[in-house]
Amino acid sequence: MAKPDYQSKSLPLWDFTTTLASHGVQLLLSGEQKVPLSSFDEEKTIICLFFSANWCRPCQSFTPKLVQLYNRLRTIGKELEIVFVSLDHDYDGFNANLKSMPWIAVPFNVNLHKKLCERFGVVRIPSLVPLNLDGQSVEEDIIGLIEDYGEDAFPFTRKRREELKALDYSKRQGGKIDQLLARPGRDYVVASNGGKILVSELVGKTVGLYFGAHWCPPCHAFTAQLVEAYKQLRSSRGGCFEVVLVSSDRDQNEFDVNVRGMPWLAVPFEDQTRQDLCRIFNIKAIPALVLIGPDGKPISTNGKNIITLYGAKAFPFTQSSIEEIEASLKKEGDLLPRQIQDIKHEHVLKLDMAKAYVCDYCKRQGKFWAFSCDACDYDLHPTCVEEAC
């Protein structure tokens, strides 16, 4: 679904009340009661029109997030009111939708709702349109802003978006692992055995933020590669490298199963930090691995490819270490013949660079250099070559 369209400026409240009055509406619905719009303190309260429908799947997904935001902001004293404008097909759909909402609503009237959509330029749902913001520039994608930042998105202005983006940049580049992984009320990450490890214990280490999920088949394959590299580094270099899972699992049970199969740490499932890290590092697909250096600053957001290609050899994963590996591989390749005729295979085998393969002779996995057949699916590790005389 494309992003909703919004006007660039907040429209005044009277635009809304005038449209209601033209259809004979003086009262709004609040549970079993009716309330006049004049009961709001226009000078203090930000009023948002929420265009939604019970039949709309994106609306079904977004409404619980908006309910959580609304309840939280009201609890901490923020002056916010939301007015539901239904695009349901009938009264039953409208009523079912309204029962899941703690805010007020415009009475069900198909013609009035169409008029409000036209007046406020709403062409897609869900859509949230703030009123009476005194001409402040409104964020163009308020739905996306809330999905990204939750209650911190309030009051939904472009200025607020820029402030939040600046905070994300500061966390990404600030060189403080505790700012990335801890939050007020939680200064730890969890271990596979359920224990709690202080985030402060990760300071000065190279840390891999592993974005993955138990339901994701490609994650299973990459997890095995990462476990191998992790265990090699723990054995050869002690505790200088740590991995922290940033889960995209669908529920707590799935998360628990995922964590139990991993030797490293994890951000707690119920914590908003999981979503924050995905946003801060612009994670669009999993598996993904972001590598953070001992100074707390990002080394690479392409850690998955680094581990897949080079494994533990790439540590400490800096550009210079990658260049050293590639130079060594090139030197190794320069010493090998360009092609061979092996007594175990009928065709000529040519030297090739492969990310990973299984040698058809010794049946062991190989990386990098292989002698491969162009005519059939046959790969031979250089150490398994027996050239014909």
CA dihedral in degrees (299, 328, 331, 360; nearest 10)? -100
Query: What's the CA gap between 222 and 240, in Å, rounded?
Result: 21
Residue 30: per-residue pLDDT? 86
Block residue for tokens 């100074």:
295
Bridge partners (DSSP) listed for residue 11: 131
Note the maximum CA span of the chain.
99
Helices (H), the chain: 13-22, 57-75, 91-98, 110-119, 142-149, 158-173, 177-181, 217-237, 252-260, 273-280, 303-310, 319-334
The 3-state DSSP class for residue 245 equals: strand
- What pairing do the DSSP bridges indicate for beta strands 339-340 and 288-292? unpaired
Block residue for tokens 């897609």:
124
Query: What's the CA gap between 170 and 172, in Å, rounded?
Result: 5
Closest CA to 155 of 312, 47, 237: 47
b/e code 305-332 from CB counts within 10 Å (16+ = b): ebbbbbbbbbbebeeebbeebeeebeee
Strand blocks (E) in 143-251? 188-191, 196-198, 206-212, 241-247
C-alpha radius of gyration, the chain, whole number: 28
Q: How many residues does the chain have?
A: 389
Query: What's the CA gap between 186 and 199, in Å, rounded?
Result: 9
Contact 259, 192 (CB under 8 A): yes
Closest CA to 143 of 220, 79, 51, 11: 51
Query: What's the CA gap between 300 and 256, in Å, rounded?
Result: 28
Residue 134: per-residue pLDDT? 60
Helices (H), 174-216: 177-181
Q: Which two tokens stand for residue 1?
A: 């679904």
Residue 43: per-residue pLDDT? 64
CA dihedral in degrees (251, 257, 258, 263; nearest 10)? 140
Per-residue pLDDT of the chain (389 residues), as tens digits, is 344 444 434 567 788 888 888 888 889 998 778 888 776 666 667 889 999 999 999 999 999 999 999 999 999 998 889 999 999 999 999 999 999 999 999 999 999 999 999 988 888 999 999 886 565 666 678 999 999 998 999 988 888 999 999 999 998 888 789 989 998 899 999 998 889 999 999 999 999 999 999 999 999 999 999 999 999 999 998 889 999 999 999 999 999 999 998 999 999 999 989 999 999 999 999 999 999 999 999 999 999 999 998 999 999 999 999 999 989 989 989 999 999 999 999 999 999 987 678 999 999 888 889 999 998 889 999 999 988 66
Residue 132: per-residue pLDDT? 67
The 3-state DSSP class for residue 248 equals: coil
CA dihedral in degrees (322, 175, 201, 265; nearest 10)? -60
pTM assigned to the model: 0.77
Residue 354: per-residue pLDDT? 77
Residue 289: per-residue pLDDT? 98
